[in-house]
Structure 1
Amino acid sequence: MSAATSRCAAVACRRLSRRLLSTATSAPLLGHFHHPTPVPPKGDPPTPYYMAPAAVATFHPLTAASPRLSLLDFLPDAADFELFDSHLGLLLLRRHNHNRNRKGDLGLYLVCDPVSRRSARFPPPPILGGGRIIGAALLSRDADADPGSGLRFDAVCVAVDGDRPRAWVATYRDGECRWRALPRGPRDVAIEFDPYWLENTAVRAAGGLYWHICNNRFALALDMATLQFSFLLAPYAMWRYHKFRIGEMPADGQLCVGSLEDEGFQLWVRGSGRGSDNGWVRERHVRMQEVLDEVPWLPRDIKIRHCNMWLSDIDAGRTGKVFVASFGYGRFSYHLDTGKLECLAMEDGMEYGHPIFPYFSTPGETLVPPPPIAVLTDHDLREILRRLAPADLIRAALACHRWRRAAARCACVTSPPLLGYFFHPVDPPPTMRFSASRARRYPVAFVPVDASSPTLSLDGGDGTKGFSIFDVHLGLVLLLPVFLPFGIPPRILVVDPASRRRVLLPPPPRDLLPEQDDCWRGGDARRHFVGAALLSRAHPSMLCFDALILTVDDKHPRASIASYRDGECSWMSFPRDMGVTVKFDPYWFEGRCVHAAGDIYWHICQSGRVLKLDPATLTFSYLRAPSELLASGANFRIGETPEDGRLAMATVENQEMQFWVRGEAKENDDGWFLRKRMNMRKVFDTMPALPRDKVSRIMSIWLSDIDRGRTGKLFIKTEGYGRYSFHMEAAKLERLITEDGKEYGHPIYAYRLAWPPAFLAPEGGNQAVTTETRLSAAHTPFHFRNFGSPTSDDSFIHTSLLSSLARFKQYDGITHYAVFFGESRFEPGLFHMFDMPW
């Protein structure tokens, strides 16, 4: 039967329409989608529906044979959307910040097919006159016009126009969306209450769409065949204090309504006859006391259970299950036939979010794996190699020349492999030792990430004796002297552990700055050295890099850059950033930086801000933490999200972990939105070495860092109880201790191989490691000094970068340029900091 014939028959007979539409979901059920949410404290309400979800929509397969689907595999901004509907193999999502659409935004709504990894975005309906959007749902889906073509579907958006509902129908074809407004609902379907009480997500049951109304005995219904609105009245037995939910019977798809109250679980089916109540017949009544008694952490008092537990939904996947929610006791599924109650919890301790959408495969589609490829073309080979891990990609590249050429094209878009961690082992301090003395630090140690990773070293204890790690970036390790006398610029030791090469850079000269701008002279205390960091690396297999030191000169930050090329070091100092003022003692800056989301950050002790350096423009600014963390005085750390590398901030305070992500959301806090919140009490209980009382835990446990290897781990430091790593997804706490009983020191640096390797670098092109450092005319005037050349002039240059690029020179396979300053000319080899690849 065609779609048009089915629609005509549906108009003639509503019962036929419901049967046709309900049996249209005969496609197999693959699993369920939902937004995981943190478990609230016991007795506290869950996150309101108008808050942005704490996590990206997650898929749970029904069986082990079901495919594993993920939205992040083809939607990089999936975290900005929340689920609204699932129908005919499609998912409908809506953007969180729908009231604050950014300029150039592609649309408020997104429809995607997780199996074929196709998506379509479309704007909201052109509502005029102050109408209010209530919700949206999918109506139908057309077959693809051609293999590989775009999605073709119809969707409906329900709005309240005046005091009556209105349906807007969207038709999406060939990348274009057209909206069509239908007449308002009849007068007997008047919205005489505040539309705020209408739930945003609809329930799909028996050929209709239903929107529940909080604290109301009616539900708003929309017939999918005729697109007519009506009110559905619940049974009279549920009118008083009952939270009922609409759904389908698992056997025949009949419309049903259920509730979970103190007298038990009730299930009513639509029908007439003896004992009917407003067109409903009670089909089942189950007393849940014995079932709930099997869960040990649920309250025993019946009244407390009644106040803290309710029916959240009837499984639309028609599995015979209903979902039960609670205030802080978890989320459960109850099977109507077996009477089994199962806790719906994630591996990381989070619970299933509301609602839980079933996902069926596309009607008529069979998920059969494609036949094997007879001839492996270059395109197919690249598609295979780009899915390999970096270590496996290197092994595949060694097979033959053809595979090496294909792997070279894939290596440019592959993240460098994580080999392990560098740190300074320390002796375990005494328990609860709050003093200013530091534990003894031992020479640098390296711990490989797995057995296949190489064991690296910084050439033993003598090679780095008297030095401490300050930064690890782009396959290089930067170290500074342990003791830094005040007023003396430090020497910088840079080591490449993979090639065992090293260089000791001279300190910046005392006459690098003009005399009137030099705060080092005369023992003046106006200049404070903060720390050093690696900026860029010119070649993955050569020791050619740029590093910087951060100083605070007369309450303003300044960056001085050392450029090392061909055994020569050139120092250049930039002007102070007058737009940033350091009004506190620079002593409170942490000397070690954090590379995150392309920028460099320095934490400030006992402050709600961090100092940010943009490597692209070399400008400084302050970044504020969320106001929620500022109000509580939490100790936060900057890092990156493990899946997409976005800027993130985390804290572990009062036995609670919070993970914030930088970005726009419906409910944000100074540009941050809370992605994950987890109660750490049960996690800490699994470690016998940690204290048991709450006060000792609060005083002696804090977050020390976010793993820079983007493994999804947090590093937790304690006062005398050990060092730990906590995996946010697996909710696993692991003790970090060396074989000789020492603790991992702070910080713990993730070491990644310089990427791509020389034999995988693109042929005939620039082999420079990706860097964000660029010089611009905005940083003028500047000060420059060259070292290592016997003919270098001892005078400094103070001029404006009002010049042009001139003749170029080739060395090390990289194109470099000379810079002309007025009438003076300098050789390209002396100005390595201005070497810009074309």
Structure 2
Amino acid sequence: MLRRPPAAWRSAHNQAHLDARAHRRASPQAYRRSARVKTHLQGIRHGLPATSGTAAAAKTQAPTCTTIHDLGGDLILEILLRLPSLSSLIRAAVSCRAFLAAVRSSPAFRRRFRALHPPPLLSFFFESIGKDIPSFSPIRRRSDPDLAAAVRGADVFLTRLPYHDEASTGWKIAECSGGYLLLLNGDTEQIAVYNPLTRALDLFSVPPDEIADGHRGNFSVQNCFVLSSGEAPGSFRVVCCCLDNSRVRAAVFSSGTREWQILPWSPPAPGQPSDKGHWLLAGKQANGNLHLAHVERAYKVVLDTLTLQFSFIDLPEHLKGKGSLYMTGETKNGKLCIVSVVGFTLHIWFRVADTDGVEKWVVDKVIPLKHEVLQATETAPDDPGQLKVWAVLDGVVYFSALIRGQPSSPRWFLSFCLETRKLEKLFYRTFDNGVYPYIMAWPSSLWEVENVIPLEHEVFQATETSPDDDDYLKMWAVLDGVVFCSPVRFGDPSSPTWFLSFCLETRNLEKLFYRTFDNCVYPYIMAWPPSLVCNCVSS
């Protein structure tokens, strides 16, 4: 028994029928056109041939399919420039070949992106007291899941570092710069340069004993630095600075040559007693140079990392002998600066030339932060405390708020941007020993690598196959600038495959034939025929 449709459906159906009758009476021609279109569509639906008019209408109304490959490189870069952070750019680039190719091929884009999006802070490494492994405190930002994913994938426990004693690894952090951790092992006399994100590890020996040749009086290795190259991903230099009673010397290790270069001793430091032991404080990188301040006097030793020459510059007289109250660093545009602290107030110093053209340190800004810090950390105003600056990187001051008389108590770690005046609360923990902010570096995967030609997309498009993780290209021969190859599935080399050729000069990929692989492959090249060679026979 058939049921009657619901009343609501009958009402809607009747109304549609009345509307159609009204439309037919008002415009008979329009109704006949719509009826013809309806008839043609019903015919197509039932497999009947369409008329030429219907085919033309269907052809003009067919939707066009736009893919990512239809976008130009400039448009792609403008889209990528609007991503919020470097971690988001990495995720987008590795998910699309067109994005990755556009980023790799444009140094101008990389400069613009770095100017708009400074490298993000991922974490802090803390040097442990004793011989325990350095500890790690991540920066948790809910607004950037890509950054959190990068932290989760990093080797924050430094498991790739070799160790000979199960109770102690023996590794100590010397510096953190350019995405690298520089670590020293006094037991094995080794140096490690390690990237926890990429897990790239480089091990080599400490400088040779010749570094101490010619020293006068006491000799000691003062500091070690790692210098990464912004234009050569994966390459670095390590600089070890040593000193005797009045002079400084450096040894430079290059990842390219795998050798140490020992520099000459510097001239004697001004006003330095000849019987003084450790007369320089721990150094810092800033503005492309290495800065080591004097313990008591108002000057610092500077090593130019390009010329590898030592020089001496003055310090503000106000900061003489107060190395714990200031930190050398650089602004967002790379300008050298000093940030000193008095209580909860930051003093920003720059070198400015006077009327005689002589540069000297001048206080540019005085920034009181007591109210902001106490409010952010929810600390009582009557608690006596002060700020301790740990680093000044890319115009951001990293510091902690501590209670006087309790240096080992837990404290808040914060950051303050000199440009935007934004104060950010990072985390709360105890202070162990050294503090090293870890900044995410520009990954080598986003740099254009010379003489590397990706062919995955072209091969799968030419052979009309879908990519598989187990596919790879097998090269058979390279003759006259032409590479003969075939895509092979790992573990199944005997299955049929396409044989292709790729010209290194024209970048033209050509599909040759499809067949099974038997054993060896020998391209046969036509030689110059003897009939075209002139045989001169002497009479």
Q: What TM bracket, shorter-length normalisation?
A: 0.5 to 0.7
Residue 574 of structure 1 corresponds to: 263
1:802 maps to: none
Residue 492 in structure 1 maps to residue 186 in structure 2? no
What corresponds to 2:203 in structure 1?
504
- Report the equivalent of 2:90: 394
* Residue of structure 1 in register with 2:253 after alignment: 562
Q: Find the partner of 2:301 among 607, 611, 633.
A: 611
Matched, 1:761 2:452: no
Residues 1:608 and 1:481: Cα distance change in structure 2 (over 3 Å):
farther
Equivalent position of 1:548 in the other structure: 239
Q: By how many angstroms is 1:638 displaced?
A: 0.6
Partner of 1:587: 278
CA distance, structure 1, for counterparts of residue 123 and residue 402 of structure 2: 16
- Paired amino acid for 2:201: R
| Partner amino acid, structure 1, of 2:226 | L
SS at match of 1:526: coil
Q: Partner of 1:452 in structure 2? A: 146
Aligned 8 A contact 2:296 2:321 in 1: no
Mapped to 2, the partners of 1:401 and 1:688 lie a distance apart of 48
Offset at 1:601? 1.6
C-alpha distance in structure 2 between counterparts of 1:419 and 1:678, whole Å? 23
Matches within 5 A, 1:167-566: 377-388=72-83, 389-408=85-104, 409=106, 410-411=109-110, 414-415=113-114, 417-418=119-120, 420-424=122-126, 442-449=132-139, 450=141, 451-453=145-147, 454-455=150-151, 456=154, 457-460=156-159, 463=162, 465-481=169-185, 490-511=189-210, 517-519=213-215, 525-537=217-229, 542=234, 544-565=235-256
Match for residue 137 of structure 1?
none
Tell me which amino acid in the other structure corresponds to 2:445.
Answer: A
8 Å Cα contact 2:338/2:348 also seen in 1:
yes
Once the two structures are TM-superposed, the CA of residue 723 in structure 1 deviates from its matched residue by: 4.6
* Preserved contact between residue 303 and residue 310 of structure 2 (Cα < 8 Å): yes
1:563 and 1:480 map into 2 onto residues whose CA distance is 17
**C-alpha spacing 1:716/1:659, structure 2 compared with 1 (3 Å):** farther
Q: 1:707 to 1:554 in 2, by over 3 A?
A: closer
Q: Is the 8 A contact 1:471 1:749 kept in 2?
A: no
TM-score normalised to structure 1 length: 0.37
CA distance in 1: counterparts of 2:322 and 2:182, whole angstroms = 35
Contact 2:408/2:431 (CA < 8 Å) preserved in 1? Answer: no
Structure 2 Cα separation of the partners of residues 555 and 631 of structure 1: 17
1:395 is aligned with what amino acid? R
Change (3 A) 1:725 1:582: farther
What letter corresponds to residue 660 of structure 1 in structure 2? Answer: W
Deviation at 1:573, TM superposition (A): 0.8
- Name which one, 1 or 2, has greater alpha-carbon Rg: 2
Structure-2 residue corresponding to 1:331: none
CA distance in 2, matches of 1:661, 1:745: 29
d(CA) in 2 for partners of 1:606 and 1:445?
32
Structure 1 letter corresponding to 2:389: S
TM-score by length of 2: 0.55
Q: Conserved in 2, the CA contact under 8 Å of 1:708 and 1:750?
A: no
Per-residue CA distance 1:591-612 (angstroms, 9 max, x = gap): 4x32211112224445433322
Q: What runs of 5+ residues in structure 2 fail to find an aligned partner?
A: 1-69, 164-168, 453-539
- Which residue matches 1:705? 390
Distance, in Å, in 2 between the alignment partners of 1:462 and 1:509 is: 22
Distance in 1 of aligned mates of 2:230 and 2:346: 39
Look up the equivalent residue of 1:746 and give its one-letter code.
Answer: G
Q: 1:458 to 1:589 in 2, by over 3 A?
A: farther
Q: Contact 2:339–2:346 at 8 Å: present in 1 too?
A: yes
Question: 1:579 and 1:413, CA in 2 relative to 1: closer, same or farther beyond 3 A?
Answer: farther
Cα deviation code 1:343-380 (max 9, x no counterpart): xxxxxxxxxxxxxxxxxxxxxxxxxxxxxxxx954334
Does the 8 Å CA contact 2:408/2:432 hold for their aligned counterparts?
Answer: no
Q: Is the 8 A contact 1:683 1:731 kept in 2?
A: no
Secondary structure of 1:452's counterpart equals helix
Contact 2:184–2:191 at 8 Å: present in 1 too?
A: yes
Shift of 1:534: 1.3
What is the deviation of 1:691?
A: 7.7
Compared CA separation, residues 535 and 581, structure 1 to 2 (3 A): farther
Gaps of 5+ in 1: 1-374, 427-438, 484-488, 766-838
Which deviations, in whole Å up to 9, do the C-alpha atoms of 1:280-327 show, x marking residues without a partner?
xxxxxxxxxxxxxxxxxxxxxxxxxxxxxxxxxxxxxxxxxxxxxxxx
Which residue does the alignment assign to 1:749?
Answer: 437
- The 3-state SS of whatever aligns with 1:578 is coil
State the match for 2:346 in structure 1: 657
Residue identity in the other structure for 2:345: E
Report SS of the residue matched to 1:725.
Answer: strand
Judged with a 3 Å threshold, the aligned counterparts in structure 2 of structure 1 residues 447 and 631 are, in CA distance, closer, same or farther, namely: closer
C-alpha contact (below 8 Å) 1:534/1:547 kept by paired residues: yes
Tell me if 1:677 matches 2:390: no
Q: Does 1:620 align with 2:310?
A: yes
SS for the counterpart of 1:393 is helix
Distance, in Å, in 1 between the alignment partners of 2:323 and 2:223 is 25
Task: Look up the equivalent residue of 1:551 and give its one-letter code.
Answer: C
> What displacement does 1:653 show?
0.9
Amino acid across the alignment from 1:550? C
Secondary structure at the counterpart of residue 587 of structure 1: coil
Between the two proteins, what is the percent identity of the paired residues?
20
